[in-house]
Structure 1
Amino acid sequence: MHRLLGIDAGKSVVRAALIRTTYRRVFVEALGEASISDAGSEAEAIRAAVGLVRPDGAAIALSGERSFYRRLELPAAAQKEVENVLGFELEATVPFEMEDAVFDYRLLRRPPGAEALPIFAAAARADDVRERIAVVKEALGFEPERVALGAVALANLEAVMPELTASGAGATAPIAILDLDQLTSEIVILAGGEPVFARTLSRGTAGLPDTAPALARELRQTLAAWRNLGGEPLAGLYLVGGGTVVQGAELFLSTQLGVAVLPLPPPRVEGLTPEQAAALPRFAKALGLALGLTPKTKGFNLRRGVLEAERSYPFLREKIPILAGLGTVIALSFGFSIVAELRTLDAERELLLASLATASRDVLGEETSDPDKARELLEQGPGAADEDPMPRVDAFDVMVQLSKAVPKEITHDVVELDVNRGHVTLQGVVPSVSDAQIIADHMKEHRCFRDVKIARTSQYVQGKHKYVLELDLKCEDKKKKKTGADSADSAAAGAPERPEGSR
C-alpha cells in the first residue's frame, strides 16, 4: 500500500490529490486547493493545499511554457541506442545546450510497414526542473520523486478511466484532453491511451468572454498542427481544470472546434465522496500526477540524469531516521535470536551429558559426564586388549596367495573357489599333476593356511588335469603375556616350550 501525492501548481492556484494504491485498487484520500495570491507564495499555497500528510512519494509538473515537445523519427537500427542518439537530434531543435538540459521520451507505435521509429520527446532546462524540486522541498520538507511535464501527465488518467483509450466514436480515433486554467491552457492528444501530441497555449479563462475568439483560434491552430503531422480527426475532447466551471465552455468549444466536448468519465476509484466526484474535473491533472508515481506511468519524468543523481543523497538523509529504526529492530531481533539459540544449545548439552553419564554407568561400570574420561574408559574397557574381531584372512587373501603360488611358466585356470567357515576348496586346471603339487607347496608358505592338500586329481581334457585343493584358514593366535604364577609353574615343570607343529 502506497500513499501518493500529485501537486498541480499553476500560476494562480495549487491543487493537490492524495491517493492510496493497493493491488489493482485506487482510493482517493483527499483533494486540496489553495490560491497562491491568498497564501502569499507558491510554497505556502502548496503547504496549504497538501496539509499535514506525509506521502510515500510526490510528483509535480513543470509548465509546458518552460519545456519543448518534439515529434521525431529515428532509423529502426538506432532503437537500442535511442537515448544516446536522441540527445544529438534534440540539440538542433531546442534553443539551449543539451549539457544544461534534461529530456525524456516515449516510443510510439510504429505504423505497419514503416521503417522509421516514431518518438515523442520533451526537453527542458535543468535549472527549471531544479526550481520545481526546490519549491516542493521548501513547502513540504522533502523532494518530489517525479517532475512531470505539462498536460502529458493527464494521460495517466487512463489507469482509472479506461474510456480514454478509445471513445465511443471509434475504437482507433484519438481523443484530446484540454486543461483550461485561468492564465494558460494545455492540451494533450491520446491515441490508444498513449500520449502522442501536446502543446501549451498562452491563453486561459482570464478575460473571457472577450478573449474567447483568440482562445478558439489558438486551439484551432493546435488541432491543425496535429493534422499536419498525419494525425487523424479527434473523436472527442474532454475538458478539465478550472475552466470546467465556466458557464457554456463546453458548447463554445464544441462549436468553434467542430469536436464533441465529452463529460469526463467517472473514475474507477474508491473512497470518493459526492463533493469530490463533482470537483474531480478540476483536480484531474493532480490525480494524473499522483497516478504517474505508479509503475504503469504514461507521462514524462524530467528527474533524470544529473537530477536523478542529485536526488540520491538528500533522499537517504530523509530516510536516515527510518533506516536507523529498522537497523535497531534488526539488531535487537538478531540479539534475541542469538540468546535463544545459546539457551537451546546449553539445554541440549546438558541433556547429552546426562545421557553420557547414564551410558558410561551401564556399559563401562563407572559414571562420568566428561567425554575425555568416557573415551579413556572405553579404550580400557572389556575386550580392549582382545584381538580385532575382523578376520585376519579372507577369500581375497586366498586369491592373492594363489596368484603368487602359480609359476609364470604354468598355465592355470580356476574353475571354482569356495570359502566356507574357514575351509577353502579350490578347483583348478593345470597341464600336469606335478604342476598342481607345486602350487600346493607354494600355498603352504602362507602363515594362515593350514592342512594344505590335494584331495583328488582327474583327467580334464587332453593335456589338462583337474585338481581339487583343500585347506583351512587359521592364523596363529597372539601370544599372551604370562603371569608370574604361570611362569613359576612352567619353571617347576622343567619342560621348555616347543613351537607348534614341532616333532
Structure 2
Amino acid sequence: AAPAEGMRVLTYAMALDKARAWLEIADEAGAEAHSLIPEAGPMARLVERLPSLAAVRAQGPIVVIDLGHARTDVVVVHGGRAIYARALARAGKHLTEAVARQWRLGWPEAEQAKHTDGFVASTAMPATSKAWARVSEVMTAELNPLARELRQTLAACRAKTGAVPAGALLVGGGSRLRGLPTWLGEQLGLPIVTIADGDAALLTGPKLAGQVGVEGGALALGMVIDAEAARPLLDLRQGPLAHEVDLTFLRTKAVALSAAVVAITAAATISAWVHHAALRKAQRVLDERLAIESTEEFGDPKTADEILSSASGQVAGAVSPLPKMTAWDTLLDISNRMPAHDKITLDVDTIDIDPSKILFKGTAMTPDEVDAIEAALKAQVPNEQPCYVEVNRGATQQVGDKRQFEFTIKPACM
C-alpha cells in the first residue's frame, strides 16, 4: 500500500515523573545523565554499524526486534534513520511465567530453566524427542501472541510509511532462547539475523567479545554509538528536564584563571606599547626628512598638511585627465537613444568610436525611420551638458528594400 500523504514525524513521549525517577537513579549511581535516549535512535545507529547486516541493508529496511524482560521494542530502520517504532507488552517474563506454571517452579528456578532448557521447534529445527516437543509447546503458546502482534506491527508500518522490511535483527535477552530466530523467521516470513561473533568483536573490542552477552546489551551498545555523535538522534531530556551544565568547578580554578587573564592583559599592553613606540620613532624620522626636503624646495620647513593643501589649490582648476564617457558608455548612450523596435527596423553595420569622431552606419526601412534616428541623436537631455555637439547626416541610399544611412558625430563628453 502507498504511504499516507503529508509529513511523517516519529515521536516519543515519557511521563515526567518516570523520567525524573530515572535521572535520580543515575544521580545516585554517581553518573550525570546528559540525555534520555529512547530505543529508536540507538537501534538505528546499531543497524548501520553491524557488518553482518550489510547484505540485508542493501535490500531495504530492517526491523529490529528487542525481546526484553518486560516488553518487546520494535524499530524499523531505513537509510540510517528510524521510521517506525512500537512497544509490545509481550516479552520474556511471559515465558518464565509459563515455565513456572507448567512445572510448578519458583520464579528463580523457572527463569534458570528457561535459559538452560528453553527451546522452540520449527520446520527447519524440529524437536528431537517428546520432552523437547513438550517444552516447545509451552514456549510456542506464549510466543504465538507475540508473533501475531509483530505481524500487525509490520502491516501498520507498511500502511503508514510504505516500508517493507527486507530482514530482521533479533536482539535482547529473550533472543538467546534456542530455536527462536528460526521459528520467528518462519512466522514473519523474513530472514532473521542475530549479532554474530564478528559484530561483538567490533562493538566491544576483542578482549570483551567473549565475556559479555552482546545480544542482551544491544540497546546499551547502540546508546554508546549514538552518544559518539555530536547530538543523539532522539533526546527526551528537554524542556523542564533539560540538562543544566554545572559550572561550580570553575570556582576551584578562579585563582588560576584570574592570574592567566592578568598575564594575558599585561602581555597585550606591553606589546601594544612597544609597537606604538616604534611608530612614534618612525614618525619623528619622517618629520625630520620632510622638514629638510621642504626647506630645499620651498625655502621654509613645511608640514605634510601644508604641502598637500598648497598642491590641491594649484590643481583645483585643472582639467581631469579621466574621460567623462568611455567608448562603452557612448555605445550604451547611442543604443538607449534609438526609438523603440516597434517604431523602426534598425540594422547596425558600423559604429566606430574615437575621442574626435563617431561614425554610425546602418540601414532602416523608410526615410521616416532615418529621420527618427537623426532626431534621437540630436535630442538633448534636460539639465545635462550636450555630449554630441554636431550630428552630420551623410547621403542616404536605397539598398534593396531598405534605406542605408550614415551619421558623423562629434563627441563632447569623451
Q: If you compute each CA radius of gyration, which structure gives the higher value, 1 or 2?
A: 1
When normalised by structure 1's length, the TM-score is 0.40
**Which structure carries more relative contact order (alpha carbon 8 Å, separation 6+)?**
2
When normalised by structure 2's length, the TM-score is 0.48
